[in-house]
Copies of this chain bind each other. A is one copy, B any other.
């Protein structure tokens, strides 16, 4: 099979008519199955079309298993290689030129897809997007924006891993990009933007946050609420929380792991006695509602903001539902002109402070 050749399964796709989203059919801990299932349920609910990128036989097998109708707005793009979850990003980028990640991102580059979604190797998606798509003009570094559940609504935390060593000027750009994402995708009219630190006072924090505080305070396009901490995020008192990619990644992973630990411990305690087992049966619907409220898969994925193309990174353990939601977010990002807004926002901020060099 030739690199990038089109597969004729199935026929419903007409990319001139509606936006097409490419999705990495091979990515994620559970392989092809949840991706195909998620894509199919996305197609049932939304008008966009989908390109499944990966090994033809594998993808077709899943499509047949789901008895996918040939009239769906769907096609397969062959990609012969798969980047493993634990593989080095730079090695994958260099050696696997026909990986589903690379082929998918190239579809975006060539304009054949408006966005790319992958639950695969995050580092490889990031590195490939940065090399193939490049950054938006004037954006120095990209940022991954994670949507977190809070007591009230949700909140964007960025960067959660794209740029580990940051300059204050880059944190300002993250704030601008996160602010636009909160408006365009989360529908927040006046996002409150906070800088993640270790106390409310601007004198607390490290050298980076102290510098970034000044830059953010001067930025007139933002509603900057100052230094924030974990409690501000989870109580829902802030809509966008900005930090360097190292801190953000640690905070995100602590949150995920702690939530899992709490779930496991609670489960263990609830199954210890007959009484508590019975009680658990009676509270099951409450637990279900609760789980839905803190379910990361509702938000579908984290956009890689700042690159010149819409690229959504989903959790390696993404379920079909998470993939469906990631496709929805990808479609909305394209439809709401997220890239143009970010370009404009970053440019305007730079224009207004020509002497800034934080």
Contact = CB atoms under 8 A, between A and B. Distances in A.
Interface of A: 88, 123, 150-151, 161, 164-165, 196, 198-199, 201, 203-207, 209, 229-231, 233-235, 243-247, 249-251, 253-262, 264-266, 269-270, 272-273, 275-276, 278-287, 289-290, 293-294
29 contacts: A88-B203, A123-B204, A164-B198, A164-B205, A165-B206, A209-B246, A229-B253, A230-B250, A230-B257, A231-B256, A231-B257, A234-B254, A234-B260, A234-B261, A247-B250, A250-B251, A254-B258, A259-B262, A262-B262, A262-B294, A266-B287, A266-B290, A269-B290, A269-B293, A273-B285, A275-B282, A276-B282, A276-B283, A279-B283
A97 to B, nearest CB: 22
Nearest to A256: B230
A235 B207 CA distance: 32
Nearest to A196: B250
A256 to B, nearest CB: 7
A222 to B, nearest CB: 21
Nearest to A201: B88
The residue in A150, A231, A257 that gathers the most chain B C-beta atoms within 10 A of its C-beta is: A257
The 3 closest A-B pairs by CB, nearest first: A279-B282, A279-B283, A230-B254
Q: How many copies does the complex hold?
A: 2
Nearest to A236: B261
A267 to B, nearest CB: 9
B258 A258 contact: yes
B286 A269 contact: yes
A36 B154 CA distance: 41
A181 to B, nearest CB: 21
